[in-house]
Amino acid sequence: MQIAGLVSRSRARCIADAYLFANRSLFSKSLRSSITAPLFSPPPTQSTTSDAFGPKLGCVRAYHDGRPRGPLWRGKKLIGKEALFVILGMKRFKDENEKLDKFIKTHVLRLLKMDMVAVLTELERQGEVSLAVKMFKVIKKQDWYKPDVYLYKDLIVALARRKKMEDAMDLWQNMRQEDLFPDSQTYTEVIRGFLQYGSPADAMNVYEDMKKSPDLPEQLPFRILLKGLLPHPLLRNKVKQDFEEIFPDQRVYDPPEEIFGLR
């Protein structure tokens, strides 16, 4: 019995030694492979929908790339949550003056400088010019406000494009009182607006103001006037003479008078 027990114990010891040796060799192989392998192995290439169907269908990308969609994304990405809330609130109460004034006192006046300017710009972009005028008046009352021709320009152009010429001229006068001159685009849009509004005399007043500007005039507002003043030959001749003096190398096209019924 003792001899049998000794034999079984020696046999078990041999089996255990063999098992440990085998595991040790496997561990050493895995360790060597992990040392020699690169730290970051590239992921296995997978065929995407665009790779499989792009050449056949002629499309560059057949899947959504995760970028946001919609016309308002660019504006929303730059506007804070409070500014967006103010825009929605002002649009909600735009037809109720009392509620709108209360909303401006309780929410608009709490905005920071950049948020106020962002609200003004977004209202102009959305075509809410009446609300934009209210917002601009709020901005002018702030301590940090300084006369800025670009704030005036964008709002005046937005008003002129919607033929709100009375509001545009009120801002124009305020801008001139602050000794600011607009650029050529502003002159062009206001002159075009008055011509479409049926007020050539007001268009000429803006034109005379343009000639006093310290910046060199451009051709576009002249050509807008020359085209819009065809039914008014006396005013047109005056603009034509100025144009030929300032731009001697340019020509002015004079259509036959009978086309416009001037004879």
> Does the structure show a pLDDT above 60 at 193?
yes
Q: What sections of 141-232 are H helices per DSSP?
A: 149-161, 165-177, 184-197, 200-211, 219-228
Tell me the domain boundaries of the chain. Answer: 71-128, 146-263
Question: Under a CB-based contact definition with an 8 Å cutoff, are residues 135 and 123 in contact?
Answer: yes
Give the predicted TM-score (pTM) of the model: 0.61
* Phi-psi region at 58: left, alpha or beta (left = phi > 0; alpha = psi -120 to 50): left
Percent over 90 (pLDDT), the chain: 33
- Please report the sign of the dihedral spanned by the C-alpha atoms of residue 249, residue 243, residue 233, residue 253: positive
Q: 47-56, 91-100, 148-157, 201-210 — which is least confidently predicted? A: 47-56
| Three-state helix/strand/coil letters over 41-61 | CCCCCCCCHHHHHHHHHCCCC
Cα–Cα–Cα angle for 207, 215, 136, rounded to 5 degrees? 75
CB atoms within 10 A of CB 139: 19
Please name the residues in contact with 130: beta carbons below 8 A apart, sequence gap of 6 or more: 94, 164, 167
CB-CB neighbours of 184 under 10 Å: 16
**C-alpha 138: how far from chain center:** 22
Of 27 and 135, the structure prediction assigns the larger pLDDT to 135
74 pLDDT higher than 50: no
Does the domain at 146-263 match CATH 1.25.40.10? Answer given as: yes
Span 105-138, pLDDT tens digits? 999 999 999 999 999 999 999 999 999 999 999 9
Q: Is 232 helix (H, G, I), strand (E, B) or coil?
A: coil
Res 18: pLDDT? 54
Q: Is residue 2 very low, low, confident or very high in pLDDT (cuts 50, 70, 90)?
A: very low
